[in-house]
Structure 1
Amino acid sequence: MRVMVLVKATQDSERGFEPGPQSAAMMEAMGRFNDALRDAGILVMADGLTPSSQGKRIAFDGDNRTVIDGPFAHPDQLVAGFWLWDVRDMDEAVAWAKRCPNPMPGPSMLEIRPFYDLNDFA
Structure 2
Amino acid sequence: MKIINHQSSMNWTDGFLGAITVCDCKGIVVYMNERSKQQFAKSGDGDLMGKSLIECHPEPARSLLLKMLAEPFSNSYTIEKKGIRKMIHQTPWMENGEFKGVVEISFEIPMDMPHHIRG
**TM-score normalised to structure 1 length:** 0.26
The answer to which structure, 1 or 2, has the higher relative contact order (CA under 8 A, 6+ apart) is: 1
Which structure shows the higher helix fraction? 1
**TM-score normalised to structure 2 length:** 0.27
